[in-house]
Structure 1
Amino acid sequence: MKMKNSPILLSILFTLLALVFPFIAGTIITIKNISSLSSIFLIQFISTAGGVLVTLWIMKKSKFSFHDFGFRRFKAGAWMAVIVFSELIAFFNGITEKDGFSAQYVFILLLFVIAVGLCEEFIFRGLIFKYLSAKGLKVAILGSSILFGIGHLANILSGADLLMTLLQIIYAILFGLVCAEIVAKTKSIIFPIVWHTMHDFIAFLTDSEPNVLAVSIYVFHCIVLIGLAIYFWRALFPKKAVMNLKNPESYV
């Protein structure tokens, strides 16, 4: 299957594809009037797992190989420790007691976040990033991160807290930016998948009720992401050497 559409059009279509699977799960949950979080996560897992399979099929049928999409090893860096540390800060907000915090709840939640991490990274840092790369690396990085943030606008329609949703959108854009930069730097999609899964797991596992501490943690995460974004951007796009006017053959 050769996709001859423009990279931008394809990226928009892939973004809509990412919204299809949570919409299907949400429709089933609403129609069946399901209230148990374990059951909700199970339905979302099944739907999202279907999204993973669909996305892998699109990748296989595309003009690119899985290696091109970032299915490869990468070298670890000190920046990974910064990311892990910043994610663990969320535990200061306490562990959630939803659904009695049973082993079944945690297991189903883990399945769900793994599926989400795979599906969304395959789409945004895999398909979208790769196709937008035809327009340039900067377009691929910025475009994929903006579309990732736009994809989270649906949370407002679901009735989620407005302040927390806006913070989530800002976080999503910054998260997408850093993940895209990591893909550009390492040529691998593996760490963004692991990071995405870890972040969602901790987010659902900890208390996310809107309060001063929860908002502060989100702000802290955003500050860390801004720092990482600047760090990776400078590494990917170093400033050109400025010619020394006194000696045209030398650069400073």
Structure 2
Amino acid sequence: MNIPQSKQNQSFSTRRPVLTVVIIELLLLLAVFAAGAVATVKQLDYTSPVLMSFTPIALVLIIYLTLRRKWREIGFRSLRTIPASHAKYYIPLLLVLGTLALKGFTDLTLSKVAFFMFFTLLVAFVEETIYRGLIFKTLLRKSAVAAVVTSSVLFSITHIMNALSGQSMADTILQLIYALLLGAALALLMLKNGNIVPLILFHFIHNLIQFLGNDRQDTGTLAYDIFILVVLVAYCVWLTFSVRTKLSSSESTTQGSSVVR
């Protein structure tokens, strides 16, 4: 079977976007599960599986994006590229962070804060680069809906690993829903502004507050979690309408230009 020359020159991810996403997700899950198995056998700290799997993944991502010069394509751009009028779309993220902070914090030490700053920055960089970067951009070639929905669902599924670390099923289900909604909101922001930097910063601060904060079981702050879920649902609806309006305007402009020509 002869393959057109134009397709031969295309990258594998362009020719096979769905297969590319499947491979990326399977490799990530394999790395995390393998690290989790090692940590269980050696009875290591609960952060060990992430450190053992995400550290080499982060190095591979940095090397890949640098050698292929894909940093900007993935969304690593100056914050100044975001229109000032779009700043309002990030306000709900600040509301989420503020609500999480209201739960309070455990006793903090300099070493503990320093460790979790590194740990959460590592997680934020890897997860955002993979889900709102590589996977999102790859599926965007098919459609915006496929990019947003698939990247969000895969992001949520990845958090099922928490069930293997001793977390209760109820808490795991709640976290899966939370991750799905949060992933959808971040993907919609990526679709709207194409800048991954504020998403990494939010993810970093969000996780840092969670790791340094009080556990829900100890403080009875389920009401805070429910409030955040309600905020995220409303947030996703708002962003969806905003993005649809933007896409409709773009299509109208394109059609108008075609008529003029």
Length-normalised TM-score, structure 2:
0.79
Task: Give the Å deviation of 1:90.
Answer: 1.8
Aligned twin of 1:88: 98
Using the TM superposition, give the Cα deviation of residue 212 of structure 1 relative to its aligned residue in structure 2, in angstroms. 7.7
Q: Larger helix proportion, structure 1 or 2?
A: 2
Distance, in Å, in 2 between the alignment partners of 1:119 and 1:20 is 15
Give the secondary-structure state (helix, strand or coil) at the position aligned to 1:67. helix
User: Is residue 121 from structure 1 mapped to residue 128 from structure 2 by the alignment?
Assistant: yes
Mapping for residues 17-32 of structure 1, pairs under 5 Å: 17-32=27-42
Kindly state the Cα deviation for residue 179 of structure 1 after the two structures are TM-superposed: 0.6
CA displacement, residues 41-77 of structure 1 (integer Å, 9 cap, x when unaligned): 4774354222112223444566x83211101123251
Cα 1:236–1:88 change in 2 (3 A) is: same
1:1-252 → structure 2 map (5 Å cutoff): 2-4=11-13, 6-35=16-45, 41=47, 44-45=50-51, 47-60=53-66, 65-74=70-79, 75=82, 77-97=87-107, 101-210=108-217, 213-238=220-245
Q: Distance in 2 between matches of 1:22 and 1:16?
A: 10
RMSD: 2.6
> What CA distance in whole angstroms lies between the structure 2 residues aligned with 1:87 and 1:183?
19
Contact 1:121 1:192 in 2 (8 A): yes
The answer to whether the Cα contact below 8 Å between 1:71 and 1:190 also exists between their aligned partners in 2 is yes
Alignment partners' CA distance in 1, 2:78 and 2:237: 24
Amino acid at match of 1:26: G
CA contact (8 A) 2:32 2:49 kept: no
Q: Is the 8 A contact 1:15 1:124 kept in 2?
A: no
> SS state of the match for residue 217, structure 2?
coil
- Sort the Cα spacing of 1:204 and 1:217 in 2 relative to 1 into closer, same or farther, 3 A: same
Would you say the 8 A contact 1:72–1:188 is kept in 2?
yes
1:25 positional shift: 3.9
C-alpha distance in 2 between matches for 1:215 and 1:14? 34
CA distance in structure 1 between the partners assigned to 2:128 and 2:243 by the alignment: 20
**Partner Cα separation in structure 1 for residue 157 and residue 77 of structure 2:** 28
8 Å contact kept, 1:125–1:183:
yes
Q: State whether residues 94 and 207 of structure 1, in contact with CA within 8 Å, keep that contact through their aligned partners in structure 2.
A: yes
Alpha-carbon separation, structure 2, partners of 1:84 and 1:213? 22
How high is the sequence identity, in percent, across the aligned residues? 27
Once residues 218 and 212 of structure 2 are traced to their aligned partners in structure 1, the CA distance between those partners, rounded to angstroms, is 16
Unaligned runs of 5+ in 1: 242-252
The residue type equivalent to 2:237 in the other structure is I
CA contact (8 A) 1:70 1:187 kept: yes
Q: CA deviation at 1:231?
A: 1.2
Counterpart CA distance in 1 for 2:217 and 2:18 is 36
Distance, in Å, in 2 between the alignment partners of 1:13 and 1:138 is: 20
Q: 5+ unaligned residues in a row in structure 2: which ranges? A: 1-9, 250-261
